Amino acid sequence: MIPQYDLEKIKYGIDRATWEKAIVLYKNGKVKNFCDTGFTFTADVQGTHLYEVIVSPKSYSDGNCTCYLGENDTLCKHIIAVAIYALKKGKPLTAEEKTQHNEIKFSGKIGNISQDQFNLSKAEISGAIRYIKAYTGPSRIWFAYQDSLSEGRNRLASIFSSLPAGRQTANLIIKTLLRLDRKLITGGVDDSDGTVGGFIEEAVTLLIEFAKANPECIKEFEAVKNKETCFGWEDPLLKRL
Ligand SMILES: [Zn+2]
């Protein structure tokens, strides 16, 4: 069976520690007796003990593991290691495949991107923002909802981290932050654990780095003038004007 997820989906969906530990298990051949049963993927993973793992082909997070975390319904590194095996079948991961891009980091590049690249980034941003949706469900699915917010946040971090410092890209980032702000104020997004708010603050820090690398970017900060935002995140940008 071909899994209905890919490495990107896993990387955007989990924290760094779990990802990195799963990579080590996979790389060191700790996933043994992998089997595609036609319904699930099963394997034994050698950790402190030998654990039995089952993963669904539909979602990497649907799985069981006989380790302590797995028994307590927590997504563990063993499940992720088997999900990786289902995708790569034991083949080595490239450096890029191993790298998570969930933190916002200035690309270090300056200038503009081509219109095609710009349109692609815009489309990717819209795709990521769809994960940051209104919460209408009962409290029992609140954690799944939080995972969706995190995935959207991580996807945006990855896109922003690829952009060079320029007016065009600064404008794209600011427009995205204003979209997120509207979602927080009137869009029904439940950001009670601060995933989206924290992301907006990190993105403002990135914009300040853009301004240092390429002062032309500051002209785009005008866009937040006279805007009432949800927690005054635009203040550091206004100070730069
Ligand atoms: Zn486990």
Model pLDDT for residues 45-94, shown as the tens digit of each residue:
999 999 999 999 999 999 999 999 999 988 999 999 999 999 999 999 99
Q: How far is the CA of 141 from the centre of ligand 1 (A)?
A: 22
Whether 173 and 207 have beta carbons less than 8 Å apart is answered as: yes
* CA-based end-to-end distance of the chain: 55
Examine residue 106 and state whether it is found in any structural domain, yes or no: no
- Same domain (yes/no): 94, 119: no
pLDDT given for residue 71 in this prediction? 92
Examine residue 105 and state whether it is found in any structural domain, yes or no: no
Examine residue 193 and state whether it is found in any structural domain, yes or no: yes
Place of tokens 């989206």: 196
- Same domain (yes/no): 61, 158: no
pLDDT in tens, 170-186: 999 999 999 999 999 99
Token output for 110: 């300056």
Cβ contacts of 172 within 8 Å, gap of 6 or more: 118, 121, 122, 125, 163
Per-residue pLDDT of the chain (241 residues; tens, 9 = 90+): 999 999 999 999 999 999 999 999 999 999 999 999 999 999 999 999 999 999 999 999 999 999 999 999 889 999 999 999 999 999 999 999 999 999 999 999 999 999 999 999 999 999 999 999 999 888 778 888 898 999 999 999 999 999 999 999 999 999 999 999 999 999 999 999 899 999 999 999 999 999 999 999 999 999 999 998 999 999 999 999 9
- Same domain (yes/no): 122, 228: yes
- Same domain (yes/no): 55, 122: no
Q: How far is the CA of 145 from the centre of ligand 1 (A)?
A: 23
pLDDT given for residue 73 in this prediction? 87
Examine residue 107 and state whether it is found in any structural domain, yes or no: no
Closest alpha carbon to 207 in 173, 235, 157: 173
pTM of the model: 0.88
Q: How far is the CA of 12 from the centre of ligand 1 (A)?
A: 20
Q: How many domains does the chain have?
A: 2
Domain that holds residue 17: 7-98
Q: How far is the CA of 154 from the centre of ligand 1 (A)?
A: 24
- Same domain (yes/no): 156, 233: yes
Dihedral (Cα; 215, 216, 222, 228), 10-degree rounding: -50
- Same domain (yes/no): 81, 122: no
Token output for 229: 């935002």
Last residue of a domain, one of 98, 124, 149: 98
**Based on the number of CB atoms within 10 Å of its own CB, is 124 exposed (0-12), middle (13-18) or buried (19 or more)?**
middle
Q: How far is the CA of 21 from the centre of ligand 1 (A)?
A: 11
pLDDT given for residue 143 in this prediction? 80
Q: Is residue 227 left, alpha or beta, with left meaning phi > 0 and alpha meaning psi from -120 to 50?
A: beta
